[in-house]
Amino acid sequence: MELPDYLPLSYLNQLLYCERRFWYMYVVGELAVNAALLEGTLRHQRADRPGEERIEEGRVVRRLAVYSDRLRLNGFCDLVEEAGGVLRPVEYKRGRQGRWDNDQVQLCAQALCLEEQTGRPVPAGEIFYYRSRHRVAVPFTPELRVQTERAVARAFDLLTAGVMPPHTTQQARCRECSLEPLCLPKETQWLMADGG
Ligand code: SF4
């Protein structure tokens, strides 16, 4: 498989959720659009309108393209707020805050790109969850930064290996995964138990 020069950072979210899901969505290019996903896409559109506006405390830039040559990452920030000279990326998500940290890693990847591009520290960001209608502050701790860089390295390792990862062993993730009808984790498990 030919490795990409840059990995779109939104796929880190998939990778952290399930490596097989990352493979389906990035390599196979399959996207099972369910109602929730469609709703999220539509809600996302407002945040995705590019542009810049000034606010009392500073400015807000929508749909900002970002990249990191060091990490070989690129992508977009839904929103970047600047107040008092401090940059803060904001990511919009459908639904509520999940039980896993994939959203935080995606946001941290945006921060790492912003830091490389601007040479300024980006200490924290926020995630806005539409369903619960609240913002969650995400400090970019040293641990989260390491986790994010490891996820990038893992993505390139998987692409280099060129083999679809196995199903996740965490079945709760499968129950909330839009690719479940395509991936068939339970059916595969039954077949394997039968020695099939
Ligand atoms: S159904 Fe389960 S194993 Fe398959 S991609 Fe989704 S989370 Fe991963």
Nearest atom in ligand 1 to 177's CA: 6
Instruction: Please report the pLDDT score of residue 30 as a whole number.
Output: 53
Average pLDDT of the chain is: 86
What's the fold here for domain 7-164? Answer: Lambda Exonuclease; Chain A (3.90.320)
Mutate to test the pocket of ligand 1, among 17, 28, 30, 180 (most ligand atoms within 8 A of CB): 180
* pLDDT exceeds cutoff 70 at 134: yes
Task: Look at the block and give the residue holding tokens 């929103």.
Answer: 79
Protein residue whose Cα sits closest to atom 5 of ligand 1: 21
Are the C-beta atoms of 43 and 92 separated by less than 8 Å? yes
Task: State pTM to two decimals.
Answer: 0.85
The pLDDT assigned to 48 comes to 55
What residue's CA is closest to ligand 1, atom 7?
174
Pocket test of ligand 1: the residue of 100, 102, 174 to mutate, having most ligand atoms within 8 Å of its CB, is: 174
- Mind listing the pLDDT tens digit for each residue in 5-14? 999 999 999 9
- Reading the block at residue 179, the tokens are 């690719």
pLDDT in tens, 175-194: 989 999 999 998 887 877 76
pLDDT by residue (tens digit) across 62-113?
999 999 999 999 999 999 999 988 999 999 988 777 777 789 999 999 999 9
pLDDT digits (tens, 9 = 90+) for 41-61: 555 555 555 666 665 667 899
Helix (H) or strand (E) holding 142: helix 142-161
Q: Give me ligand 1 centre to Cα 142, in Å.
A: 29
- By DSSP bridging, strand 86-93 and strand 124-129 are parallel
In whole angstroms, what is the distance from residue 151 CA to residue 157 CA?
10
pLDDT average, residue stretch 158-165: 96
Question: Is residue 137 pLDDT above 50, yes or no?
Answer: yes
Q: Which of 69-73, 152-156, 169-173 has the lowest mean pLDDT?
A: 169-173
- Find which of 38-42, 93-97, 114-118 is predicted with most confidence, using mean pLDDT: 114-118
pLDDT at 150: 97
